[in-house]
A and B are shown apart, each in its own frame.
Chain A
Amino acid sequence: MTRKTVLFHEHQKANAKLVDFHGWLMPLHYGSQLDEHHQVRHDAGMFDVSHMTIVDLLGAGGRTFLRYLLANDVDKLLHTGKALYSLMLNHRGGVMDDLIVYYRAPDNYRLILNSATREKDLNWIRQNKEIQSVGIQERTDLAIIAVQGPKAIERTSSILTPGQADVVSTLQSFEGADSNDCFFARTGYTGEDGLEIIMPSHQASDFWQRLLTAGVKPCGLGARDTLRLEAGMHLYGQDMDETTTPLESALNWSVAWEPSDRVFIGREALENQKQTGLKRKLVGLILEQKGIMRTGQTVIVDGVGEGVITSGTYSPTLEKSIALARVPFETQDQCLVDIRGKHLSARVTKPRFVRYGKPVTE
């Protein structure tokens, strides 16, 4: 049974090409995913991400619970409104999911997790709660619209109430605040400035239509993938999963090792892995010839061994193919990728290709 978000009718009106995304009927694009990509890099585009999982943790035990559950440390959230990116690990140090956690109040934390991992995540959170004084509330009554691009905040503000526009104007990156039923967060999955706006489901259509009048263009999952990969952002299930640790996924930066006495799920397994030494790592690749790298293709590293493309696509900004790949730890600057039987050369880079709308120069 395929599910639809509350904005489905809007996507039909805009002639979206629809695809089944892990059981949800979602827009792949509305005509041209390349145009939508450029729209976000240069102006403002919006994504319906209402299929994502929203979990509110309520009660006094929230902070203590999250300091155990998550690999990053919510103690870093020094005042209400601050948010951070974190992984949720299993006891073997493998990644259960990646998420953003917002500190809304001392007794109120909001987690935004992936859609495909909903059941698994909720079970995991409930299983590990034990006796903590925390209530777990999944919010299926809310919709999410992500407006992204250098003009995202400007265009969005033009259709907000004065109170909402004021609240938005105070937000720094990775901060969120409530105003008039809506929760505004200055976060995103594109590498551009912008907002992720959470609102009651029944207000979503109207909000979407108002954003259209402000000149924001609808963008689909196709553009979402090329944008996030250019920005070096991971996709759970492809770039990392339960069989890979953060150390093998270029996500060590998101693990809070200090304070050294913080016990969190997976810590012991990661420390053991550090001791033993890493066998593989996640790197960025830029293909030096014409062609497109795709998930699952083999990476050949001369004299070292083989790896695999975890995510690959065409980068509209670089006009070349880019990818994230898991390769043997000793891999240096060059490798070959087996693309439909041909071995094409690729340059190994840091796993981020575009910054502030421009190619990263190395």
Chain B
Amino acid sequence: MNTIPEELKYSATHEWARHEGGNFVVIGITDHAQQLLGDMVFVELPEPGETIKTGDEIGVVESVKAASDVYSPISGEIIAVNTELAESPALVNSDPYGDGWLIKVKMEDTSEFDTLMSSEEYKEILTEE
């Protein structure tokens, strides 16, 4: 059973993005991704202030089972990272769309956000997998 909130946007590499007003976007990994990986034990995140482009690697989520790279669905400047995950990586499992968020970005170009997949489109690619 996968949760795919309708109000979010998605990438083919299983990241989600939430537009939080103005140019700000919060990014994390989907319920599908956290289920595949299992219990999370380490999360590597970038430094605030870094500039990223769509498709750049922005971190690693490591479970007991495997390590997985996380890719940015948009371009911009990293303004915050979820420092809670250093102590509590399991938040990515228990609340992947809420307290398990990974990074907050200030978008260069807000129109880029609209090119991301909708929840329906993401659901489609999951059934194809």
Contacts and interface: CB of A to CB of B under 8 A. Distances in A.
Q: Taking chain B's interface residues, is the majority helix, strand, or loop, or is none over half, making it mixed?
A: mixed
Contacts of B64: 33-34, 222, 226, 292, 313-314
Contacts of A34: 39, 41, 64, 90
Nearest to B39: A34
Contacts of B93: 32
B67 A314 contact: no
B44 interface: yes
A238 to B, nearest CB: 16
A292 B39 contact: no
Q: Taking chain A's interface residues, is the majority helix, strand, or loop, or is none over half, making it mixed?
A: mixed
Contact residue range for chain A? Answer: 10 to 19
Interface string A288-306: 0011100000000000000
Instruction: Tell me which of B38, B44, B93 has the highest count of chain A C-beta atoms within 10 A of its own C-beta.
Output: B38
Contact residue range for chain B? Answer: 10 to 19
A234 interface: no
Given A34-B64, A222-B64, A313-B64, A290 B39 contact: no
A11 interface: no
Contacts of B41: 34, 292, 314
Nearest to A225: B64
B42 interface: yes
A120 interface: no
A291 B39 CA distance: 14
A291 B38 contact: no
B38 A292 contact: no
Contacts of A313: 64
Nearest to A29: B38
A33 B65 CA distance: 10
A7 to B, nearest CB: 22
Instruction: Tell me which of B44, B64, B93 has the highest count of chain A C-beta atoms within 10 A of its own C-beta.
Output: B64
11 contacts: A28-B38, A32-B39, A33-B38, A33-B39, A33-B64, A34-B39, A34-B41, A222-B38, A226-B64, A290-B42, A291-B62
Interface of B: 38-39, 41-42, 44, 62, 64-65, 67, 90, 93
Interface of A: 17, 28-29, 32-34, 222, 226, 290-292, 313-314, 340
